[in-house]
Amino acid sequence: MSEPTATWSFPTTIRFGAGRRRELAEACRGAGMTTPLVVTDAGLAEHAITHELLAILRGEGLAAGLFAGVKGNPTSANVDEGVAALRAGGHDGVVAVGGGSAMDAGKAIAFMTAQTLPMETFEDIGDNWKQADHAGILPSIALPTTAGTGSEVGRASVIHVAAVARKVVVFHPGILPKQVIADPELTTGLPAWVTAATGMDALAHCLEAYCAPNFHPMAKGIAVEGTRRIHRSLVRAYRDGSDLDARSDMLAAAMMGCVAFQKGLGGIHAMSHPVGSLYDTHHGLTNAVVMPYVLAFNRSVVEPDLGRLAGYLELPDASFQAIMDWVVDLRREFHIPATLAELGVATDRLDEMAAMGEIDPTATGNPIPLTRDNLRPLFQNAISGKMPA
């Protein structure tokens, strides 16, 4: 049997382990930075983590600045303000500190500093990325403080772009950070609900990548191992935030999920992106709410694969239902709502959400082709709590 033709790419240098944040100045110099701009959100800006990182940089003679104007769902305005701050301070790169929002915004700031075309030009469709000014893209270093999106090893940023009134997946190979410092000690202070919501985001990435129909056996294998680590450690990290072994597992799993979804994402993200755009909901939490509905929708295609995955995870039986039961049990353990209605999502925008989901780049990775005609009832089910037959 001949295999399909495909092109694969894997990520950047990762400094993994407790205490590795102390190597930040060295990593910046390695990326050619002498005046980095630390990009984070307002809450983290006042946290001891950020003060420590700024002290490390400045203590090593690097003229570090701070931009803390990132929202939970980062917007094009946040990026524009960050670009302005970077230029005003004469900064030569970005250090992104925080969760997926800070990662996405920081990478986008480093990227958009060089661009004259609007952000939506670079949406991850076809070869749009080739329209970018490649030479002027500034380097970035990523320090994740959550274990969820894995955006620190991604070549894209998800930004709500005002000009098109929706979330846009902005893609360019040069968006990928030059180095990642994955220090699990930076995640130990997370509230339990953030640990749960971001962890469910990592699970969504692994499950969707594993089930996506595109040919990428390496990514599929990474998705399997990422899921195993989540199965082993997410509940532990939720129950005891100081468990460094569990935190390390989850930090690795989050990056594995992001690497794996080069193979594709799918309906979970095609639903959560419109909901996040219209209702400003937490991305990982939204993924967790819609996950069982999408799994049920895709069951006819993914059942054999998920049965094999259940066997690898040593669930009670090697079946699709065992995976579904595990996901539902996780939601119950974490007190995650069972419906979108509990997040404030109403049926009056069903057509709008379905249309947005159909054109979301993640929709193309779903095992069953997604259209507004089948997304509309899927959104309706997720709002009402009715599981697809």
pLDDT tens-place string over residues 202-223: 999 999 999 999 999 999 999 9
Give the helix/strand (H/E) hosting 28. Answer: helix 24-30
Question: Which residue is associated with the tokens 């620190």?
Answer: 152
Say whether pLDDT at 1 is over 60: no
| The one-letter amino acid at 207 | L
How high is the pLDDT of residue 302? 98
Q: Residue 378: name the closest of 255, 282, 273, 295 by CA.
A: 295
Query: Do 13-187 and 192-384 fold alike per CATH?
Result: no
Say whether pLDDT at 389 is over 70: no
Give per-residue pLDDT as tens, 134-180.
999 999 999 999 999 999 999 999 999 999 989 999 999 999 999 99
pTM, full prediction = 0.93
Architecture of the domain whose range is 13-187:
3-Layer(aba) Sandwich (3.40)
User: What are the structural domain ranges in the chain?
Assistant: 13-187, 192-384
Work out the average pLDDT over 37-59.
95
φ, ψ for residue 149, nearest 5 deg: -70, -30
> Do the beta carbons of residue 139 and residue 95 sit within 8 Å?
no
What number does CATH give the domain 192-384? 1.20.1090.10
> Do the beta carbons of residue 156 and residue 169 sit within 8 Å?
yes
Of 5-9, 93-97, 179-183, the range with the lowest mean pLDDT is 5-9
Strand partners, 65: 37
